[in-house]
Amino acid sequence: MALIPLLGQVYQPPTLRWTKDHPIDQVRGNLSSGIKTRRQSGNTCLYVNFISENEPKEIDDALRDPAWVSAMQEELAEFIRNNVWLLVPRPRKRTIIGSKWIFRNKLDEIGTIIRNKTRLVAQGYRQEVGIDYDETFAPVARLEAIRLFLTFAAHMNFKVYQMDIKNAFLNGKLNEEVYVAQPPGFVDPKFPDHVYKLNKALYGLKQAPRAWYDTLSTFLLSKGFVRGKIDSTLFLKKYPKHILLVQIYVDDIIFGSTNPKLCEKFELLMKSEYKMSMMGELTFFLGLQIKQSEKGIFINQGKYVHEMLKKFDLTSLLFQIQVLINMHTIGE
């Protein structure tokens, strides 16, 4: 092979090495489980080149993995987009709240890893009442409320859809003056002693859920929605012949209407204000697996049962339960 001149130097291609066996310490999974084909691996093959299967315990481990570095950069990009904070000199006589990275693999309803998700969380235990926060209470939809919502949808024969607000808490406006330290692994080399002054809420702050709920509810009320008198996480908007219902559970929103076009309008409305992802028809929510059809709405908790059986080492019952679920599905 010819030598390639590069910037006045001579480049020598590296010597190729061949080994008979792959190092055991680099093999993932159970060695005794055998080899899986692409068909057996299911949709895991769609993500394996872009997603890490391991959840780092320390920031140093995450910084060595390109998949997690990309996830952290994506999180910080949202901070810039939402104008969450401003880098300022460290103030005197003010508590500087620390921050920490949380690493989680996001799973779908059957337990397949679909995304590496990072969250920069403030160490809210260092906040002081009356200085760093006041109100902290935020209403959260109860499971009974979700069941009633689905019952009404089945009765009125309309589809229920789901959307997810990306980094919802970062949209919550703060009324207090709060400072946080620069995130581990991403300290500005020019201003290492500076801190961030928060304009909006950060996950981990005691007032973060309240700030997000107030921001979202204010937006919906300004667009003609009415808040439920009993359930304050339920919002509805009445039209001459139709109705649009919206149920909020922190950053997850389910909604439906007797007129499908109103659902499309609501999606556009939310996208105009927040960065969100439309997840289509509701299939999985708060541990409930949901199937919507012309015959009605069917609910089961197969995934939850599966996890409980594995937790208590009762996996011998998994096959029998799967057979029952399949029989129920066929019967529909």
Band of pLDDT at residue 89, cut at 50, 70 and 90: very high
Nearest C-alpha neighbor of 288 from the set 104, 162, 152, 135? 162
Does residue 81 surpass a pLDDT of 80?
yes
pLDDT at residue 110, rounded to an integer: 65
Q: How far is CA 83 from CA 35, 79, 142, 211, 221, in A?
A: 48, 6, 32, 15, 24
pLDDT of amino acid 48:
45
Confidence of residue 108 (pLDDT cuts 50, 70, 90): low
Report, as an integer, the average pLDDT of 38-60: 59
Give the C-alpha separation, 68 to 50, whole Å: 10
Contact status, residue 245 vs residue 282, Cβ threshold 8 Å? no
pLDDT digits (tens, 9 = 90+) for 236-270: 999 999 999 999 998 889 999 999 999 999 999 99
For the cut 70, the answer to whether the pLDDT of residue 304 exceeds it is: yes
- Nearest 5°: phi and psi at 105? -90, 125
Q: Report the chain's mean pLDDT, rounded to a whole number.
A: 79
pLDDT for res 66:
87
Highest mean predicted confidence (pLDDT) among 44-58, 92-106, 219-233: 219-233
- pLDDT value at position 331? 56
Q: For position 305, what pLDDT does the model report?
A: 76
Six-digit token string for 121 = 């969380």
What pLDDT does residue 262 have?
Answer: 94
Mean pLDDT of 168-192: 89
Alpha-carbon torsion angle 244, 249, 251, 256, nearest 10? -20
Kindly indicate the confidence band of residue 109, based on its pLDDT and cuts at 50, 70 and 90: low
pLDDT score of 257? 94
Give yes or no for residue 277 having a pLDDT over 90: no
Which tokens sit at 259? Answer: 């007129």
Say if residue 31's pLDDT is above 60. Answer: no
pLDDT over 70, % of the chain: 78
pLDDT at residue 194 in the model: 93
* Residue 268 host element (H or E): helix 260-273
Calculate mean pLDDT across residues 83-97: 90
pTM score, two decimals?
0.68
Q: Which residue has tokens 């002693």?
A: 193
Pair of tokens at residue 68: 């997690």
State residue 243's pLDDT score. 94
- pLDDT over threshold 90, residue 132: no
Per-residue pLDDT, 330: 61
Is pLDDT of 41 > 60?
Answer: no
The residue among 248, 251, 240, 62 whose CA lies nearest residue 169 is: 251
Query: 158-182 b/e with 16+ CB inside 10 Å = b?
Result: bebbbbebebbbbbbebebebbbbb
Round to whole Å and give the CA distance between 242 and 257: 7
- Cα separation, 252 vs 271, in Å, equals 14
Calpha distance 179→184 (Å, rounded): 15
Predicted pLDDT of residue 219: 95
Q: Locate 159 and state its tokens.
A: 């589809």
Q: Which letter does DSSP use for residue 69 in this model? A: H
Query: Residue 3 pLDDT > 50, yes or no?
Result: no
Find the helix or strand (DSSP H, E) in which 277 lies. Answer: strand 276-281
Residue tagged 């066996």 (tokens): 21
Contact 113, 47 (CB under 8 A): yes
- Residue 268 burial by Cβ neighbours in a 10 Å radius (0-12, 13-18, 19+): exposed
Give the confidence band of 328 by pLDDT, cuts at 50, 70, 90.
low
Is the pLDDT assigned to residue 9 strictly greater than 60? no
Among 106-115, 223-232, 283-292, whose mean pLDDT is lowest? 106-115
Sign of CA dihedral 120, 124, 127, 133: positive
Q: Is the pLDDT of residue 126 over 80?
A: no
Q: Largest alpha-carbon pair distance within the chain?
A: 79
Question: Span 14-37, mean pLDDT?
Answer: 47
Could you tell me whether strands 226-227 and 288-293 are parallel, antiparallel, or unpaired per DSSP bridges?
A: unpaired
Q: Answer whether residue 200 shows pLDDT above 60.
A: yes
